[in-house]
Amino acid sequence: MGEMLELTVAEGGVADLVLNRPQVHNAFNDELIARLGDAFAELDADEAVRAVLVRARGRNFCAGADLDWMRAAASYGEEENRLDAERLSEMLHRFNAMRKPTLVLVQGAAIGGGAGLVACADIAVAVRNARFGFSEVRLGLTPATISPYVIAKIGESAARRWFLTGERFDAETAHAIGLVHDLVGSEGDLLSAAERILGDLLKAPPGALAVTKDLIARVKSRPIDPALRAETAAIIAERRASEEAREGIAAFFERRLARWVRRPSKGDNEQG
């Protein structure tokens, strides 16, 4: 993947994707955006990958836009800027729409596009001293490209506050508004939290996870009417007839691990 982005896939199917531009606080430039977009597409298509972890090296998760990239964009015409923004939008969309469950670990600052990347993850964990912000308006800009994902996470009311003021806010606030799900005491606790969450995710089979992610996307913000009720009934009927469901239910009643669950360490006999 190149030095600015590191990728490893563990034996259990967890892809570990690491932003590696600590000298510029892991800020986005056109190359990093392209590499992230390619990585998300490749990992989503790889049947051996069951979950994706995104994290960063250095003091900060991602400070948003790289300064040199911003300077270059300032000289672009409207069409060049539109194409540039579409590339960022495509990368965020690929991450947001992945069929695999995704987890982000945040230390230090997650600003602008960095906070947008956090919003695209299924699950986000942050250190308590992490900082967040949507500072675009203070530069005469607007958080347009990240807005669909951020507003879906934090809602209109919080977006009005934090988009319009451009204020930095702490991890407690990010947790309260739904941008992150869990907080840990120190950076050293992030990987322990990730191990626990990924362990829970891997207790479910890939097909059920993909269908459930699609279910959330289909159902959110829709009225509970006969069409939605019929659609959800059809989804569960199809899932009940699946090979995964037959195996999962059989394993439950036979008090054994389902085929997709890795054998636990000695002393851990929980099915989940």
Cα-trace Rg, the chain: 20
Question: Structure tokens of 118?
Answer: 């956090």
In this structure, which topology does domain 5-201 adopt according to CATH?
2-enoyl-CoA Hydratase; Chain A, domain 1 (3.90.226)
Domain map of the chain by residue range? 5-201, 204-272
pLDDT, one tens digit for every residue, the chain (272 residues): 458 999 999 999 999 999 999 999 999 999 999 999 999 999 999 999 999 999 999 999 999 989 888 888 778 888 888 998 999 999 999 999 999 999 999 999 999 999 999 999 999 999 999 999 999 999 999 999 999 999 999 999 999 999 999 999 999 999 999 999 999 999 999 999 999 999 999 999 999 999 999 999 999 999 999 999 999 999 999 999 999 999 999 999 999 999 999 875 544 444 44
Query: In the prediction, which pLDDT does 1 show?
Result: 46
C-alpha 102, offset from chain centre:
5
Distance between CA 106 and CA 45 in Å, rounded? 26
78 catalytic, yes or no? no
| C-beta separation of 31 from 88 below 8 A | no
Residue located via tokens 């912000």: 133
Q: Which are the contacts of 1, defined by CB distance < 8 A and separation ≥ 6? A: 7, 17, 35, 39
Query: In the prediction, which pLDDT does 265 show?
Result: 54
- Enter the pTM of the model: 0.93
- The active-site residue out of 136, 156, 195, 243 is 136
Distance between CA 208 and CA 239 in Å, rounded? 8
Distance between CA 92 and CA 85 in Å, rounded? 11
Q: Of 113, 94, 101, which is closest to residue 41 (Cα–Cα)?
A: 94
Q: What angle do CA 110, 33, 117 make, to 5 degrees?
A: 30
Query: In the prediction, which pLDDT does 269 show?
Result: 41
Which CATH code fits 204-272? 1.10.12
DSSP for 230-258, written as a single string: HHHHHHHHHHHTSHHHHHHHHHHHTTS--
Query: In the prediction, which pLDDT does 266 show?
Result: 47
End-to-end CA gap in the chain? 35
